[in-house]
Structure 1
Amino acid sequence: MIGCLCIHGFTGNPTEVEPLVTHIRRNTDWHIVVPTLPGHGEHLALKGISYNQWIEHAERELQNLLKICDKVYVIGFSMGGLIASYLAVHYPIEKLILLSAAAYYVNPKQLLVDVSEMVKDTLKGRLKENELFIRYSRKLKETPIAATLQFRKLVATIKPLINRVTIPTLIAQGESDGVVPPRSAHYLYENIATPEKKLIFLKESKHLICHCNERDKLFCEIVDFLQDAKNS
């Protein structure tokens, strides 16, 4: 049996990767696990949570999968991509998928574009209809500064391990991502040690890459990469 672990991002929840999970379930018979990291979920409770707890929770889920599956793939979105990379270094994972993985974060150029769109919607009285405003205003209100510092510690801890990833890896990045800049994907591609790696850019996609208009193409690329025997 093939297992697949999907890890969401900082201040997120499984809905961030849900469209991809649905696609994989429709096209395979894999056993898919999508955990909710400590302090995350529909209602954030990040106070007092350390970055080690996020890693350890993902580790336990992976260990359980490895007990019942012949092969395990790991997919990580944003911060989850860093955690997935950590797991790829320390456990016998077959393949790795990194989506908008946050080796670097905050893309000032795109962020200005997104803020400009919010200002326009504010002037038109439509701010509450702006998708980015809806998604991120709640997160900003419910995220303690200490939790953001834990996120930064996680990135600083895992980033030096990237050059120890030696399994086939697919990296996907939206060019219109205001949270994770395209240079993050370039950094990952250049520093991951495996020769079996692929980098995909989606021109119109923002940070929530699994919800973008180009997602059908992305999902097919992911499943093809995971099923390709040449990458095994």
Structure 2
Amino acid sequence: MIACLVIHGYTGGPYEVDPLAEFLKENTDWHIEVPTLPGHGEELHLENASYKNWIKAAENELKKLQRYYEEVYVIGFSMGGMIAAYLAAKYKIDKLVLLATSGKYLNFKQIGFDIAEVIGDGIKGTLGENKLYTHYKNKLGAVPLKANIEFMKLVRFTRRYLDKVESPVLIAQGHQDGMVPYKSAYYLEKEIHSKKKEVVFFDRSRHLICLGDDKDTLNGMVYHFLVEETE
């Protein structure tokens, strides 16, 4: 039997990866596990945030799955991608998928474009239709500085393990990602030494790659990567 652990991103929750998780549930007989990291979810409680607790929560889920399933795949989105890479380095997992993974911090150029678009929609009176704005508006003021520092600590900590990853890996990145520079995908490809590596870019996708315009293509690509035989 096969299990798949899907790890969401910083200040997010399972909803960020839900279309992909549901697609895998509908098209396989695998056990799909999508945990909520401490302090995350629909309502954020990050006052006592700790990057070690985020990693530990995902690690505990992986250990449980490895206890009961013959094969375990791990998918990570954004910060969850760095956690997934760490788990792949520390434990033997069968396949790894990294989605818009935050190996580098911020794409300031694209953030500028996104802010300009939000302002433009505000002027036109169509702000409610701007997906980026509606997603992040509820997080404004809900993320303490300490949590942001813990996020940066996590990225720095997990980076050290990238060159120890040996699992076959698929790296997917959106060209319009306003949070993670698209060059992060090249950085991950360079640092990870797996024999089997695939890097794919999506022209229409922003950071929330599982919720964007390319989500159907992404779902199919991840599925085919996971089901194909590894040489």
Identity of aligned residues (%): 48
- CA–CA distance in 1 between the matches of 2:15 and 2:123? 30
Q: How many residues of Structure 1 are paired with residues of Structure 2 in the alignment?
A: 231
Provide the residue aligned with 1:29 in structure 2.
Answer: 29
The one-character-per-residue Cα deviations of 1:113-167 (angstroms, maximum 9, x if unpaired) are 1111111111112223321111112223200000000000000101121111111
CA offset at residue 78 of structure 1? 0.2
Write the distance in 1 (CA, Å) between the matches of 2:24 and 2:170.
16
Tell me the equivalent position of 1:107: 107
Output one character per residue of 1:88-132: Cα deviation in whole Å (capped at 9) or x when no partner. Answer: 011121000000000012111211111111111111122233211
Residues 2 and 72 in structure 2, CA contact (< 8 A), matched pair in contact too? yes
Which SS does the other structure have where 1:141 is aligned?
coil
Structure-2 residue corresponding to 1:221: 221
TM superposition shift of 1:191: 1.1
1:35-46 correspondence runs (5 A) = 35-46=35-46
Q: Secondary structure at the match of 2:210?
A: helix
Whole-Å Cα distance in 1 between the matches of residues 134 and 106 of structure 2? Answer: 18
Off by >2 Å, runs of 4+ in structure 1: 125-129
Question: AA paired with 2:72?
Answer: V
Normalising by the residue count of structure 2, what TM-score does the alignment of the two structures yield? 0.98
Residue in 1 that maps onto 2:230: 230
* Secondary structure of 1:195 counterpart: coil
* Structure with the higher fraction of residues in helix conformation: 1
Q: Distance between the aligned counterparts of 1:152 and 1:140, measured in 2?
A: 18
Counterpart-to-counterpart distance in 2, 1:25 and 1:130: 29
- Counterpart CA distance in 2 for 1:138 and 1:144 is 14
Q: Distance in 2 between matches of 1:205 and 1:131?
A: 12
Deviates more, 1:109-118 or 1:78-87: 109-118
Matches within 5 A, 1:1-232: 1-231=1-231
Please say which of residues 15-24 and 108-117 is displaced more in the overlay: 108-117
The answer for unaligned runs of 5 or more in structure 2 is none
- Provide the aligned C-alpha RMSD in A: 0.9
TM-score (norm 1): 0.97
Q: Structure 1: any 5+ residue segments left out of the alignment?
A: none
SS at structure 1 position matched to 2:167 = coil
